[in-house]
Structure 1
């Protein structure tokens, strides 16, 4: 489809026709807000320090992480100007990259968005033209001149608006007419022959290459010839064929009218683009609002930022400040009327206080606090009440609390004004305690259920590692600032906030040992270190002492953790379950510029069954693992011990045990069995282990040890089985 360009408005503005560019903004009229499309990705180009950010996917929420001057604010500013709630045009003189200003032209693209359509929007487009039924989204760009260009996704290739372009439709029309039921006698009879006769005249006297989209005698003749077919068609009683013929004629007419339809599509898409609301500075709410002064400045349109926050609070509470002022005056009232007005005013504030009392219960977890309101003469006062009932004025509470409350009020009111906006926040919660920042992160997650949120941050406590796909890193490259996934960034310093977040999430700092083996969870650490220790004490191959085993908390976190450790020039091995997630993590590591040298192992690499899905427990002989399970659950199972008779060859032993215990009404705990292995396995004579198990484990240990540039055999130190098998966990190189 051709790009549809025009100086088009946001969905909140009326559109009037223009001569060449399709549409221009009318700043004076506001139409009813249309539901907007969902943002799926964005890309910023030619803006301040950014030449081309690359494409960044967006779901409900997106965190932009990067060091100072990396371009986080520039990204947010550019997105805001793409389609702001209040018009704010791009300024090429100030905003085009200075080092390339000699390349500037107003048609330079600044922002590209990809948006998705819902089912209703897809249906509405299909009503414009049936060929649009498969369109599920659009790519929209905006340049420095403010013009939008729209490309449908997937793109629709339409024929040229001439006889040559519509010829396939004419052939299709002929075939449909030939199949028409023409057995009716009387006036309705002979319709098929009449239609064929009318069709034979379509295109008569028109040059094949003539553009029929422009006003001309050829266009008028062509449309008149198609109308003859439609007139004759009304006499047919074959309703099925009539509909098919009408649809084909419609496609032909739409093809020659495509420039006009193109403009309609353009208008439809741009009107429904998401509106961007940018939050940069938040005025702190005052605990004392002088109502007469507030109303006077409100009417004059002269509210300062602090009073504007107060206005949003009053709006949120549905309190009319003018009415409160009128109820508080004595003029023209009897003493009884004054008392009734004061009582009414107090009742209004009390009801508002009840509605606001639970405002912070779900969002502020630092301490139990309740917001109270009270009317005091001409002042509306805000108090913060503790759980014990003691109250302090809002100004006497912490700055962090004041900021959080003010932000939440502004955020809630702005988001309520329009559905499906995209909320942009630059470094939110800077002076909040880390725990309060996590409260804020939860609030953003809640608000993102209705409005998409994009925010920038330096803080590790504003990073949600449980949803790594919501995090993008702004990294400096030889080609300028780029947005990338955390595991694919080439800028090690940009990863510092994620490194801190990961360390906090794991409740432990990054290890300082030179070599690390990352496993998926704590039970893998327990089992692997116990087996390795027993093998070492029995003078067999084991994991070298200076390789530190670290649980990462899951396969996806292993990729991020490996990137962090590799960025510190540490040798890293990653042991993964050979499942779909493990394969995905390995792919991420192979593609990572920093962690590509990571030694990635699958559990099944230790066996001859490369295609089998395996966990670490599957390396143990099934009968041995079931022995540990039966001992761990001896109280629940009694004599009804588990056997391996029903265990299929390719079924993971843990899944089998979990299902068998569930049949017996027993809940399975991986940790419980792993602890049993730690306690009992060191006491099993090494000679009782099957040769295949010994061979597989020694092969795995050999692969793990290859992390070291020059692997040499470590001295074997015989140890008593009374030594704790956990000692291997905390081993460190003392060289």
Structure 2
């Protein structure tokens, strides 16, 4: 499940209830000490009070409780709730109707209350639809005797057929029908989570701004969990056997180090080795985990703590790329405080790309002062933090999006991302850097022309803050503007609003800026030629891949076949002119030809 919204009350700088909407990748911006970190710590404590416990200073008012209220969403919400509850309530007894009382517009709403410092929640509740009349309230938690009294007092007729009077859910069903007929109002009420729905919540990892392994307790626990589990399963009788186990542990940890090293080498070519070596004291299970680097000129690996903070951040960039691979299919919330700290702007871009990849299957919330990070986030995914007697949070709605973007500009000083060159009479906005490279390749193959010879191609054509600013800026510039977007039709089942948003973006662009075009297929990868994929990935058999449809969601298919997004440019580069003509719709070819002519 993913967090759609968190409401915070009486926590740190927040006195009265403050709501914060959350997306797959959200940015919290604001001045120092405005309360950005409150959001991260509130989410961490809500999801895992054991590791992110509450202390006295966390209470805004020590005499009142801290309350976190979170709205969760999931593409298969009813199915996962059913799997959790069906052991207690059978389908035949009215499980479907019972589940509907938990679901509010495709979400569930959960509340955790903390009245004193420590690692334990005082109260855990879930919102349920219920009647506001005391006689008909809490029906699911009344005894059979209490239900029978309501039936008798109101002369409610229950059919004898089927379960009839023997089914509690059956009784509740007919009592509810009677109460609705009578005009009793329904409202939302929080009830104790006796079904342990909280076990469905995602895991959480928090990375503070002074990131280092000494602060990253989750790195330590996650890295040694498999070691501890393995150790607990094995005998402790023989020293020789323990040495074998130690060797296996060290080999496993070094495999992880080697993977991270391969990513980290992209940013520092002199890196020779990354060493992750557990310090094992069997009586203590695992004592510690050390990370060491060996660069050119180093006789031995040197502890990361002896390196500068910039290297720690580079390690974080590499580690997030590693996590993106390792945790595919898992549901984890990553909370990151000021990821740009100590990073060169180019490394910020690398980390941002790693976080975007990670957010495809997980959820990420960052605090930032960086235009690079905030600018790459959709306006609806930016939370502006201010102090107004208490910490308050502002966010965009469809009606306020334009005004809100300029508030972000005032806060962070975001400016157009690219300088204009007078030789360009046309500007083409595309969604990302890979799209810019791919369309350049396509034009070279189709027309034997360099797209960028006369056209400025800007990878800011999505719905990010950056693209909003750039397009608004360039509108006043007298250039001919073009926009080329994915249709996202393949996302219609997982996210029905996304194709509509893309289509509306094209309509708005055509009305206000220039000429826009949305692909017929879901995205550029939908235009891979099947035969090229089969040649590119040797393990695929001839004619194993089909031509992709317009509204086909390829995420699971690509995962199953081992087709990786990072290979997209090389795949397109392997395609011939004839193959492009076979997969591209004529309207797209005409659109590109108009731009390049």
Q: Corresponding residue for 1:430?
A: 341
Match status 1:139 vs 2:104: no
**Secondary structure of residue in 1 paired with 2:262:** coil
Distance in structure 1 (CA, Å) of the matches to 2:503 and 2:335:
35
Distance in structure 2 (CA, Å) of the matches to 1:266 and 1:377:
41
Change (3 A) 1:120 1:66: same
Structure 1: gaps of 5 or more residues:
1-36, 97-103, 167-210, 286-303, 328-332, 524-548, 590-597, 605-612, 616-656, 678-735
Count of aligned positions: 458
Distance in structure 1 (CA, Å) of the matches to 2:301 and 2:166:
75
8 Å CA contact 1:52, 1:481 repeated in 2: no
**Post-superposition shift, 1:482?**
1.4
8 Å CA contact 2:67, 2:113 repeated in 1: yes
Structure 2: gaps of 5 or more residues:
116-121, 180-185, 282-287, 431-435, 438-454, 486-499, 520-576
Distance in structure 2 (CA, Å) of the matches to 1:673 and 1:354:
49
Match of 1:64 among 15, 28, 42: 28
Distance in structure 1 (CA, Å) of the matches to 2:578 and 2:194:
56
Distance in structure 2 (CA, Å) of the matches to 1:663 and 1:380:
51
Give the 5 Å matches for 1:173-572. 233=160, 248-252=170-174, 263=191, 268-270=196-198, 272-274=200-202, 276-280=204-208, 284-285=212-213, 313=223, 349=250, 352-354=253-255, 356-362=257-263, 365-366=266-267, 367=269, 369-372=272-275, 383-385=292-294, 392-395=301-304, 399-405=309-315, 420-448=331-359, 451-463=362-374, 465=376, 468=378, 471-474=381-384, 476=386, 480-484=392-396, 487-489=402-404, 492=407, 494=409, 497=412, 499=414, 503=417, 508-509=418-419, 520=429, 552-553=458-459, 555-556=461-462, 560-561=466-467, 563=469
**Post-superposition shift, 1:122?**
3.7
**Post-superposition shift, 1:472?**
0.4
Distance in structure 2 (CA, Å) of the matches to 1:421 and 1:459:
24
Match of 2:64 among 103, 106, 122: 106
Match of 1:119 among 70, 73, 78: 78
Change (3 A) 1:563 1:93: same
Change (3 A) 1:157 1:664: closer
Distance in structure 2 (CA, Å) of the matches to 1:213 and 1:341:
53
Give the 5 Å matches for 1:131-170. 131-134=97-100, 135=103, 136-141=106-111, 145=115, 150-152=126-128, 156=129, 158=131, 160=133, 162=135
**Secondary structure of residue in 2 paired with 1:68:** coil
Change (3 A) 1:509 1:448: same
Change (3 A) 1:461 1:666: same
Change (3 A) 1:659 1:48: same
8 Å CA contact 1:85, 1:275 repeated in 2: no
Q: Corresponding residue for 2:40?
A: 76
Distance in structure 2 (CA, Å) of the matches to 1:600 and 1:142:
46
Q: Deviations over 1:507-545 (max 9, x none)?
A: x23799xxx99764699xxxxxxxxxxxxxxxxxxxxxx
**Post-superposition shift, 1:40?**
1.6
Normalization by structure 1: what TM-score? 0.45
Q: Deviations over 1:34-73 (max 9, x none)?
A: xxx3212234456555577975443433222333344312
Give the 5 Å matches for 1:715-730. none
Distance in structure 1 (CA, Å) of the matches to 2:289 and 2:126:
50
**Post-superposition shift, 1:489?**
1.1
Change (3 A) 1:509 1:450: same
**Secondary structure of residue in 1 paired with 2:336:** strand
8 Å CA contact 1:63, 1:456 repeated in 2: yes
Distance in structure 2 (CA, Å) of the matches to 1:478 and 1:115:
28
Q: Corresponding residue for 2:582?
A: 662
8 Å CA contact 1:70, 1:476 repeated in 2: yes
Distance in structure 2 (CA, Å) of the matches to 1:49 and 1:572:
47
8 Å CA contact 2:81, 2:197 repeated in 1: no
**Post-superposition shift, 1:85?**
3.1
Distance in structure 2 (CA, Å) of the matches to 1:585 and 1:212:
46
**Post-superposition shift, 1:362?**
3.8
Change (3 A) 1:341 1:243: closer
8 Å CA contact 1:284, 1:306 repeated in 2: yes
Change (3 A) 1:565 1:392: same
Give me the CA root mean square deviation. Answer: 6.5
Change (3 A) 1:602 1:670: closer
Distance in structure 2 (CA, Å) of the matches to 1:281 and 1:663:
47
**Secondary structure of residue in 2 paired with 1:358:** helix
Give the 5 Å matches for 1:9-28. none
Distance in structure 2 (CA, Å) of the matches to 1:603 and 1:306:
49
Change (3 A) 1:52 1:116: same
**Post-superposition shift, 1:115?**
0.8
Larger Rg: 1
Change (3 A) 1:38 1:122: same
Change (3 A) 1:313 1:393: farther
8 Å CA contact 1:552, 1:558 repeated in 2: no
8 Å CA contact 1:110, 1:142 repeated in 2: yes
Change (3 A) 1:363 1:444: farther
Change (3 A) 1:399 1:489: same
Distance in structure 1 (CA, Å) of the matches to 2:387 and 2:291:
50
Change (3 A) 1:271 1:256: farther
Q: Corresponding residue for 1:184?
A: none
8 Å CA contact 1:44, 1:111 repeated in 2: yes
